[in-house]
Structure 1
Amino acid sequence: MRTAPRPAAVAAQAAAAVVVLLLLLVIVRLPWAGDLGMHAATVQRLRHDLVDPGNPLVDADTPSPYYSPWMLVLGCVARVSGLSVFVVLRLAALAGLGLLVTGVWRYVRTLTGHRAAPALALLSLLFLWGTALFKWSGFYGLSSLALTVSYPSLFALALAFHLWAWLARAVRSGAGWGVWSGLGTLWAVILLCHQFSGVVASLGAVATVLAARPGRQVWLRLGGGAAVGLAVLALWPYYDFFALFGARDGLEAVHRPLYEDLLGRYWLVLLGVVALGVRAGRDRWDPLVLFFVLGVAVVAVGGVSGHYSWGRALPAALIPAQLAAAVEVCEAGRRGVRAGWAWVLGVALVLGAWTQAGTVGYVVPPRDLPEAVAEKYRRPWAGYHWMTRWVRYGDVVMAREGRPARQIPAYGAYTVAPGYPDFFLPDEGRRERAVRRYFAAGTPGEERREILREYGVRWVVAGVGHRGVGLREVARGPEGQVLYAVVSEPVRGVVAEAGWVRSPAERGAACAHPCRP
């Protein structure tokens, strides 16, 4: 078997090491955007009650798909160690990144023995995208990964690479029932941790098995492993996994943007599609080719049928193309062809890296970056640690939908409406309407007070000058946000506000808040 020239392998490994180091430094910063607050809230609920944590975002006793095996582990770590949930999420990010790097290495080793291939594959996964910046949970471009490295989606995707590698070896070696039971359990854990990444993992697993064209005995053992996995899914106590198949309302509108600007976001991946065509010419049962076909089929059906959440399966089309581009550099037949592939892939990776260069701003202050790089930097969200001096664990906060509802629960409070569609919350629509009605310009004061009473609201987060009967300004935060206390009853000549007038001991406990980043 040919081996890649040693200097090329060393260069690829060095570049991959630099990128991993950058991500490690990003983890120290843990920039905040997207769903980080919701995952922090999940850890927070589990650290307080491992058995019956309730809804992680609103004050309701409902199950939640956020309570996955991985989040249960993190909740136990937070409970035993007493560490801040943000420190625990940093530890989760380290674990997820380590699993991703080792998983890519193991899986690529099932495709080729070339020393440069694993490093090139990692670089392709991070940079071979497009020149329109795109960030989304479960999508692993460098700029997206920097913001989602602590998410369960990364953990699940990292486990998927290990699943494919283990499965490929099991099919080839004729593994016993114990191995197949372990594979079924791992498959179930991935699905429980992040359902969309679980779909990607499942498509990759199907492609791996079909490519091997196994005999009857392997199919029987595969069926046994699948049965074990289904049993794990059915027995998971925190939520009904199979009920999620009926979840559609709210998800399609959220995911429709996944089908926008596909060329701008992914045109560099076309190099990988060409590589897949070359591989298909050599072997129509190639696992990457089958994986790609399955991924494209699912995404295409989702787009045509209006099931836009199926767009979350896009990594099932991207991963095989990106890996094919990396592997083809090492496996092309003639030296001149290999050199041509290397140059084209190198240019594509540079273009992709330049598009995502703003990620460096999470490590280096943007003012110290070259102007061209600083312009690509996007400032992360500001947190709500400024209000933890007053807002206690379990307090209900009236806040607008969107960013506030996705962030405030991270600090232990609840919001009236969840920050993300919640299939298991029966009154989700009513809560959303209540929030919109409360903040509507023409809503009468008494109606606003009734909404606050109905949901047990102690605090309101709104802009400067928000007019509301029975509110008192308590603190001001960034971006013009103000924390208002909800006034309750006059007590001994002073105005007592829910959660605002406290003893010195209570104030000290609030200041030592365990959720500060």
Structure 2
Amino acid sequence: MTPGGRSRSHWVWGLRAVAGIVAALLLAVVVRLPWAGDLGIHAATIERLRHDPLHPGDPLVDADVPSPYYSPWTVLLGCLAKATGAGAFGVLRFAAVVGLVLLLSGIWHFVRTLTKRRAAPPLAVLCVLFLWGPALFAWSGFLGLNSLALTVSYPSTFALGLSFHLWACLRKALRAGSGWGVFLGLGVLWATVLLTHQFTGVVASLGAAAMLLGSRPWPSRATLCRLGVGAALGLLVLAAWPYYSFFDLLGAGGDLEQIHRSLYRDLLGRFGLAFLGVAALALRFRRDRRDPLVLFFALGAVVFAAGGLSGHYSWGRVLPAALIPAQVAAAVEVAAVVGAAGAAGAARAVGTALAPLPTAPARSPRRVLAPALAPALACALTAALAVGAWAQAGTLGYVFPRGALPAAVAAKYRPPWPGYRWITPWVRYGDVVMAKTFPARQIPAYGAYTVAPGYPDFFLPDEVAREDAVRRYFAPGTPRAERVEVLRRYGVRWVVAYPGGGGLGEGDPALRKVAVGVRGQVLYRVVG
């Protein structure tokens, strides 16, 4: 092996080792399954499906209504919980492992359809996890390491893993002119992503459109016909899904806009490192005006910008459609340029040792510039990845005790939410609990219902009335009789409240103090 070949081999194996260490870290996180964000509603969804797989009702409140959280993936997990007797959090750990395997293999699969460079897939994994920004950011469907550590068990991770495989399989099917079975399967896969996590489904759809528009050679009429029938089958699956009406979600908005407004803040701090990928996309655009990664980025950026300009801030959830192609492009371009530089160096070494090389034909711009660009691009990407990794170093706290971490890393650690397991010796499955919004996002994970849902609930007709009832119960000026009436109207058996947080007082005859939990919260039994 030439010196250039050995150095390239060492680089590839080094990248694979680093990517493997990061994957091992995420697997270790699954053991602890840190609680934050939407973990409560996903656990509650599994609880409802475990008790009644066919008619689970609303996952958060005691109401017989459909819910978009009942997707093909969560129904499968609920059936697994029912068949095995495993708890909701145990099933979520299984979901996390499956989602992580799908995601990492999907990135690998997709990148291999873009380049043959062996360094590109592991480098793409690192770019997707670390090429974000110096400010910490976590949201489901966004694949920064810290965000993924908190959301790895969510349906969004499973859906993103399927999306990468969808894009890869679609590229190969269009290129090969595959048969009916392949395109029908792709249609079902596309529908599964949309049903599992609707925001990720939009990202998957934009990516699929980019793979089609950027395919070379342009698909034949027969291939496009098979693709159209596959898409029609996907729409049929969406329409036939029995647990909720997918197309009714198209008119949903309302509370989602304000919740997602923060996605348009501090863009440079959260996502600034991805601009290195935008530079890589510019290089690809110069070579091919229909490059699929460029088209993917453009579609995502346009929708994201349109959401900000129109006030439809929930459209900000499409931002991964701009970030993922930029991150993948950075990995592919650096792997290509560094690989070309190594190949050129090896060729020069062999030529010098054996004989003078003949005059070579004109080379492509990439090969002419590769020896000069390789060190600069590799150093720039290494520095960006280091900054991104340092910003997310607190993720180590989900695996190692805080005291075992260096002080600078421990300072970045953010403890996960404590949960409400402390109420389970008393609160039983199906009991209704009166609680404010934050505890209402966690309590249903243990089988109980809350009076009002902790999240926007599009299919709950009395959502506003329930929220108003909770607000009035805890409001300081509400008469006692009205508070008692609220408890009776919704069949409340328990109240979770902070001391001085409003509601009936500790000495009220309608309540009996049962337990004190984390941060001084009190569990009361309703007795009158």
Aligned to 1:356: 392
Which residue number in structure 2 is paired with residue 16 of structure 1?
A: 19
**1:106 counterpart (100, 106, 109):** 109
Q: Which residue of 1 aligns with 2:60?
A: 57
Q: Do the aligned residues in 2 keep the contact of 1:291 with 1:317 (CA within 8 Å)?
A: yes
Corresponding residue number in structure 2 for 1:197: 200
**2:431 corresponds to which residue?**
395
CA distance, structure 2, for counterparts of residue 357 and residue 22 of structure 1? 11
- Identify the residue that residue 167 of structure 2 maps to in structure 1: 164
Give 3-state SS (helix, strand or coil) of 1:311's partner: helix
Match of 1:256? 261
Please list, as runs of the form range in 1=range in 2, the aligned pairs for 1:92-241 lying within 5 A after superposition: 92-212=95-215, 213-241=218-246
Cα distance in 2 for residues equivalent to 1:463 and 1:133:
30
**With structure 1 as the length reference, what TM-score do the two structures score?**
0.93
Structure label with greater radius of gyration: 2
Deviation at 1:263, TM superposition (A): 1.0
CA distance in structure 2 between the aligned counterparts of 1:47 and 1:163, rounded to whole angstroms? 29
Cross-structure match for 1:422: 457
| Shift, 1:444, TM fit | 1.2
Distance 1:156 1:43 in 2: 17
Instruction: In structure 2, give the amino acid aligned to 1:462.
Output: A
- Displacement of 1:339 in angstroms is 2.4
Q: In the alignment, residue 224 of structure 1 is paired with which amino acid?
A: V
Matching of residue 320 in structure 1 with residue 325 in structure 2 = yes
- Supply the distance in 1 between the matched residues of 2:243 and 2:371 (Cα, whole angstroms): 55
Question: What SS does the aligned partner of 1:472 have?
Answer: strand
Give 2:289's match in structure 1, choosing from 284, 294, 298: 284
1:500 match: none
For the pair 1:449 / 2:475, whether they are aligned, the reply is no
Q: Does 1:473 align with 2:513?
A: yes
Range with bigger deviation, 438-447 or 229-238: 438-447
The answer to whether the 8 A contact 2:177-2:220 is kept is: no
Which aligned runs of 4 or more in structure 1 are off by greater than 2 angstroms?
A: 464-469
- Cα distance in 2 for partners of 1:48, 1:138 equals 28
Q: Which amino acid aligns with 2:287?
A: R
The code of the aligned residue for 1:195 comes to Q
Residue number in structure 1 paired with 2:277? 272
Does 1:404 find its partner at 2:409?
no
Q: Kindly state the Cα deviation for residue 369 of structure 1 after the two structures are TM-superposed.
A: 0.8
Which digits, 9 at most, give the CA deviation of each residue in 1:305-346, with x for residues without a partner?
111000000000000000000111112231331222111101
Structure 1 window deviating more from structure 2 (364-373 vs 155-164): it is 364-373
CA distance in 2, matches of 1:19, 1:339: 24
Deviation track 1:90-128 (CA, whole Å, cap 9, x = no partner) reads: 000000000001100100000001111100000000000
Q: Deviations over 1:194-252 (max 9, x none)?
A: 00000000000000011113222221111100000000000000000000001011110
Who is 2:248 aligned against? 243
One-letter amino acid of the structure 2 residue matched with residue 395 of structure 1: D
Letter in 2 for 1:167: L
Q: State the 1:454 CA deviation.
A: 0.7
Using the alignment, how far apart are the partners of 1:70 and 1:335 within structure 2? 48
CA drift of 1:78 comes to: 0.3
Aligned partner of residue 14 in structure 2, secondary structure: helix
- Secondary structure of 2:381's counterpart equals helix
Deviation at 1:464, TM superposition (A): 2.7
SS of the counterpart of 1:243? helix
Deviations 1:257-300 (A, max 9, x none): 11111111111000000000000001111110000000001101
Question: Partner of 1:71 in structure 2?
Answer: 74
Distance 2:173 2:58 in 1: 39
Say whether the 8 Å CA contact 1:32–1:381 is kept in structure 2.
yes
Provide the secondary structure at the position in 2 that maps to 1:5: helix
Partner residue, 2:410: 374
CA distance in 1, matches of 2:435, 2:120: 49
Aligned counterparts of 1:142 and 1:438: Cα–Cα separation in 2: 40
Question: Which residue in the other structure is 2:335 paired with?
Answer: 330
Unaligned runs of 5+ in 2: 338-365
Q: Single out whichever of 2-11 and 106-115 deviates more from structure 2.
A: 2-11
2:93 to 71, 90, 95: 90
Deviation at 1:41, TM superposition (A): 0.2
Alignment partner of 1:303 is 2:338: no
SS of the residue aligned with 2:21? Answer: helix
Contact kept in structure 1, 2:495 and 2:524, CA below 8 Å: yes
> Is contact 1:43–1:74 with CA below 8 Å preserved after alignment?
yes
Corresponding residue of 1:343: 379
Matched residue, 1:507: none
Shift of 1:67: 0.1
The alignment partner of 1:421 has SS state of coil
1:328–1:338 Cα contact (<8 Å) kept: no
- 1:365 matches 2:401: yes
Question: Which one-letter code corresponds to 1:476 in the other structure?
Answer: V
**Matches of 2:145 and 2:443 in 1, distance apart?**
27
Tell me the amino acid that sits aligned with residue 261 of structure 1: D
Q: CA RMSD in A?
A: 1.1
* CA apart distance, 1:8: 1.0
TM, length-normalised to structure 2: 0.91
Match of 1:144, SS?
A: helix
- CA displacement 1:144-199 (0-9 Å, x = unmatched): 00000000000001100000010000000000111110000000000000000000
Determine what percentage of the aligned residue pairs are the same residue. Answer: 65
What amino acid does structure 1 have at the position aligned with 2:75?
A: L
Paired residue total: 486
Q: What amino acid is aligned across from residue 117 of structure 1 in structure 2? A: A
